[in-house]
Amino acid sequence: MKTVIKDAKVRGADGKETLKNINIVDGVIESISDEITLSGPKIYDAGGKYALPGFIDLNCNICDPGYESRENIQTISQSAAKAGFTSITCSPLTSPVIDNKTMVMYIKDKAKDLSAVNIFPYGSMSKEGQGKEMAEIGEMYSAGIVGVSDGNVSICNANLMRNILIYSSMFDLPVITFCENPELAACGVMNYGTVSTVAGLIGKPREAEETYIARNLILAKHNKGRLHITHVSTQESVEIIRYAKKMGVNVTCDTCPHYFTLSENKVDGYNTFAKVNPPLRTVTDIAAIIEGLRDGTIDAISTGHSPTFVENKWSEFDKADFGISSMETAFALCYTTLVKTGVLTIWQLAEKLSKSPAKILKLNTRGEISPGMDADICIIDDKKEYRINAKSFESKAKFSPHDTDVVTGMVTATFVSGNLVYSLA
Amino acid sequence: MDLSRKDFIALKYMSADEILHVLDTAETMKYLLDKKNKKAPHLNGKSMILLFYEPSVRTRLSYEMAGQFLSASVVNMEVSTLPENGGNLKEMGPLIDQMGVDFIVIRHPMSGSAELLAKYSKASVINAGDGLNENPAQSLMDLLTIRSHKKDFKGLKVTIIGDVAHSRVSRSNIWGLLKLGASLTISGPPTLIPPGIEEYGVKVCKDAREAATGADVIMSLRLKSERQQANLMPSQNEYRNFFKIDEEMLKCANKDAIVMHPGPINRGIEISTKVIESERCLVDDQITNGVAVRMAQLYILSLGNAKRETEGKK
C-alpha cells in the first residue's frame, strides 16, 4: 500500500522547516522528498501544516478489561487518534490486573482487533498489583510488554522495589514508578497548603511524592535497572531528579499537561474536575515543571488520562473520584503553554511527546519522521485557536477542568502505519 | 442593609457588613428570646428541614428552637452519607424541593457539601457544619458574644488555642474576625495548625502563653481523641501541660479578657474548672446567642427569598 502526505511541514537535515512530501510504502516511510516518488499512491494533502511524529503516551488508563464502562479499547483508541497519539501504553491496574502473560496477550489481541492506534501494554511489577510479590516479569516480557509499572499505587516495600529494578534489568525494561507514599498521602484529596486550609479539605503533602522519588532514585543509583518516574508534580521532585541525573542515575521521567497548566486554585469552589492524583500543586511548582521541561530534566510528557464516570465527579469533593480526561486536551495544552510562549520549539515538544517516549520504551522504529521509520504521523494546525469542548471528546469521560478554555494547536489528521485513522471533518 | 443571599454557606464568602447585619438582627432576636411568649410569626407557613448527616445534639436543638420560635414547621432528619440512604446530594436537593421545603439546614462530614447542596436545591441552604470547612452560625454566635462584651472588633486581639486544623468553628471565626478587623493569633500543637494560615494574616505562636499575652478574647477548641490516635500528638496529658487555659495563662492576657469555647468542654484539659466557673468564661452566653443567631439567619434568608419572589413576579 502506498500513501503520500503531500506538502507537509517537516524539519530538514539542516534543522530548517521545509515543505516536503512524505512517501509511505506498506506502513513505512520510504522517503521524504520534494517530489512524489511513488506511482499511484493515495494522496493526503497536508496543505503546508506541520507533520509531527505520532505521539506516544507513557501513561494512560484504558480501563479495559474490568472497567469498560469508564473507557474501553475502542473509545480510547478513537480518543488517542483524535489527539494525535499513535501509540499508547496501558496501566496494568485493570480487573483482572495485567500481571501475567495471558493478560498481556489478551490486551494485544484485543487491541489488534479493535484499536486504530498501537497499544503497548505495561505489566504490573507486582502480583495482582498488591505490591507484595514480584510478578512474572520475564514471562510478560516474552509476551510483549514494553515496561513494568505499578499503575498508580507505589510499591511501599523498598526491598521489593530494589529487587524489581535489579531483576527487570535482565530484559532492559523500564520500571515505571508512580511515586506517592501512602502513609503521607493518607486520606488527602488535594494539595496540602494554603488552599486546602481555606477549603477545609485534607491535603496530601508534597513530601508524599518527593520521599518516594528520592528513595527510588537512590535505589536506582546503587543498582542496575532503568527507572522511570511518572507524574512529576512538584518543584522539589524536579530538583531531586535533576540532581540524580547529574550523579549519573539511569533515570527518565515525565509529567502531565495538568501539572504545568493548572494550580491548586483550580479546586476553588470544590471543583471536582480538578481532583487528580498527584494533586494539582502551586504556581511555583508549575514554573519549576516548565523549567524542567525546558532544561531536559523532564524527558517526556504523558497524558495521565484516567477516566471515570462524570457522575462520580458530581459529588462532595471528598467523595468524588480522582481522575481526569486528559487525552484530547494534551497537545493543545502543551502547544499553548510551552510552544506559543517560547519555552520549547514545536520540534522540542515533539521530542517530549514522541521521541523520548519511544526511546524510553525502546520503540526503535517510532518517534521520528525519517526514512525507514514506521509511518506514525500526526498533522498539526498550529494556528487553529478554539475552545475546549469536553462534550465533544471521543473518550467516554466527557469532562475536563479545562472545559471552555481557549487553546491553540489542533491535530487535524493522524496516521498509524500510513493509514489515516483520524481526520478532522 | 440588603442581604439577599439565597444561602448561608460560609463566612469566608461574606463581607464585614453582611456579618454585622446578621449580628444586629440577632440582637433583636435576643429581645424576643427574653420575652415570656417566645412565638413570633416571622416564618409562619414556612417549612424547614434539618438534614443531618452527622449526629448532633446541640446544633440540631438550637436550629429546631430557632425555627419553632419563628413559627416555621420543622422536620428533623438524620441520614447517612451512603448513596442509597440519601447521601447523594445531587438527588437530595431536588427531592427536598419537590416537597416544598423553604430552608434546609445541613450538617455533613465533608467540606463543601452545603455549597454543593445549594447548587442543586432551590431552597435556602444553611450550613450547620461541613467537614473541616465552616460552621457559620457557631462562629456568628461567638462574634455576637464578643461584641456584647467588647463593643468593637477593630484592633481586638483574639487568640485561638487548640486543634485549629480540624476545627470548622475556628475556620469560620478566623475568616469572620479577619474581615471585621480583629488581630488574630493562634497556638496549638504544630501538627494541628492549618498549613499556610500565616499567609492570611494570622499570627502563629508556638507558646500558648505568648499567644495569650495581651489578648482580649481567648478561644479554646475541642480536642478529639482521634488526634492522638492519628499520631498528631502524644497524649491529652501533654496537651494539658502546654495548652490548657488556666489562671496562670490568663495572667498574661488583658485584665478583662474573656474566655470562650464551642463546647462541650473537656474540663481540666482544654480549660481549667476554675476558669470555666469564673465570670470570664462565657460558654453559657454563647449558647443563648446561638439560638438568636440562627433565628437571624432564617429571618434574613426569608426576607431575601420574599424579595426575590416579588422581583420574579414583576
The tens digit of pLDDT for each residue in A228-278 reads 999 999 999 999 999 999 999 999 999 999 999 999 999 999 999 999 999
Please, are residues A125 and A153 in contact by the beta-carbon 8 Å criterion? no
Residue found by looking up cell 443571599 in the block: B5
Contacts of B43 (CB under 8 A, 6+ apart): B67, B70, B71, B72, B102, B298, B299, B302
Structural domain of residue B241, as residue ranges?
A: 136-285
Residues B99 and B224 in one domain: no
Question: Mean pLDDT, to the nearest integer, of B208-216?
Answer: 97
Judge whether B2 lies within some domain: no
Residues B159 and B281 in one domain: yes
Residues B301 and B215 in one domain: no
Residues B197 and B100 in one domain: no
Question: Mean pLDDT, to the nearest integer, of A151-173?
Answer: 97
Determine contact: B195 vs chain A, CB below 8 A.
Answer: yes
> What does the pLDDT read at residue B24?
96
Residues B237 and B291 in one domain: no
Judge whether B152 lies within some domain: yes
Mean pLDDT score of chain B, rounded to an integer?
Answer: 93
- Give residues 138 to 177 of B whose Cβ lies within 8 Å of A: 168, 171
pTM of structure? 0.93
In the predicted structure, residue B2 carries a pLDDT above the cut 60: no
Determine contact: A200 vs chain B, CB below 8 A.
Answer: yes
CA distance B87 to chain A (A): 9
- The answer to whether the CB atoms of A194 and B196 lie below 8 A apart is yes
> What does the pLDDT read at residue A325?
97
Phi, psi of A355 (to 5 degrees): -65, -45
CA distance B142 to B93: 30
Question: Mean pLDDT, to the nearest integer, of B71-82?
Answer: 88
CA distance A318 to chain B (A): 6
> What does the pLDDT read at residue B143?
97
Q: Which residue of B lies nearest to A202 if distances are taken between CA atoms?
A: B132
Structural domain of residue A311, as residue ranges?
A: 54-366
Q: What is the CATH number of the domain that holds A83?
A: 3.20.20.140
Extract the runs of DSSP E, i.e. beta strands, from chain B: 47-52, 73-78, 103-108, 124-130, 157-161, 183-187, 203-205, 217-220, 258-260
The helix/strand/coil state of A420 is strand
Phi, psi of B169 (to 5 degrees): -60, -45
Residues B54 and B125 in one domain: yes
Please, are residues B3 and B307 in contact by the beta-carbon 8 Å criterion? no
Q: Which residue of B lies nearest to A187 if distances are taken between CA atoms?
A: B230
Residues B281 and B305 in one domain: no
Judge whether B107 lies within some domain: yes
Closest CA to A226 of A403, A360, A388, A377: A360
Query: pLDDT confidence of B227, banded at 50, 70, 90?
Result: confident
Scored b (16 or more CB within 10 A) or e, B140-153 reads bbbbbbbbeebeeb
Number of domains in chain B: 2
In the predicted structure, residue B3 carries a pLDDT above the cut 80: no
> What does the pLDDT read at residue B86?
66
In the predicted structure, residue B81 carries a pLDDT above the cut 80: no
From chain A, pick out residues whose CB is under 8 angstroms from the CB of B109: 318
Q: What is the CATH number of the domain that holds B22?
A: 3.40.50.1370
Mean pLDDT score of chain A, rounded to an integer?
Answer: 96
Please, are residues B49 and B105 in contact by the beta-carbon 8 Å criterion? yes
Residues B168 and B39 in one domain: no
Judge whether B5 lies within some domain: no
Per DSSP bridges, beta strands A226-230 and A251-255 are parallel
Which of A184, A197, A281, A313 to probe the B interface (max B CBs under 10 A)?
A: A197
> What does the pLDDT read at residue B80?
79
- What is residue A228's DSSP assignment? E
> Cα A393–A264–A309 angle (5° rounding)?
35
> What does the pLDDT read at residue A13?
82
Residues B131 and B39 in one domain: yes
> What does the pLDDT read at residue B82?
72
- The answer to whether the CB atoms of A317 and B88 lie below 8 A apart is no
- How many A-B residue pairs are in contact by the CB < 8 A criterion? 63
The helix/strand/coil state of A340 is coil
Please, are residues B58 and B263 in contact by the beta-carbon 8 Å criterion? yes
Query: pLDDT confidence of A76, banded at 50, 70, 90?
Result: very high
Q: Which three cell numbers stand for residue A274?
A: 480538578
Judge whether B18 lies within some domain: yes
- The answer to whether the CB atoms of B195 and A194 lie below 8 A apart is yes
- The answer to whether the CB atoms of B116 and A192 lie below 8 A apart is no
Residues B185 and B49 in one domain: no
Closest by Cβ to A316, choosing from B116, B134, B197: B116
How many Cα neighbours within 13 Å face the side chain of A347?
Answer: 10
Q: Is A310 left (phi over 0), alpha (psi -120 to 50) or beta?
A: alpha
Query: pLDDT confidence of B83, banded at 50, 70, 90?
Result: low
CA distance B3 to chain A (A): 21
How far is CA B301 from its chain centroid?
Answer: 17
Closest CA to A60 of A119, A115, A18: A119
In the predicted structure, residue A48 carries a pLDDT above the cut 80: yes
Q: Above 0.85 for ipTM, yes or no?
A: yes
Phi, psi of A105 (to 5 degrees): -65, -35
Judge whether B77 lies within some domain: yes
Determine contact: B194 vs chain A, CB below 8 A.
Answer: yes
In the predicted structure, residue B167 carries a pLDDT above the cut 80: yes
Judge whether A75 lies within some domain: yes
Share of chain B above pLDDT 90, in %: 82
Number of domains in chain A: 1
Judge whether A23 lies within some domain: no
Residues B221 and B308 in one domain: no
Question: Mean pLDDT, to the nearest integer, of A97-107?
Answer: 97
- The answer to whether the CB atoms of A270 and B130 lie below 8 A apart is no
Determine contact: B229 vs chain A, CB below 8 A.
Answer: no
Scored b (16 or more CB within 10 A) or e, A116-130 reads bbbbbbbbbbbeebe
Residues B185 and B308 in one domain: no
Question: Mean pLDDT, to the nearest integer, of B82-105?
Answer: 86
Closest CA to A300 of A191, A112, A147: A147
Judge whether A283 lies within some domain: yes
From chain B, pick out residues whose CB is under 8 angstroms from the CB of A271: none
Q: Is A372 left (phi over 0), alpha (psi -120 to 50) or beta?
A: left
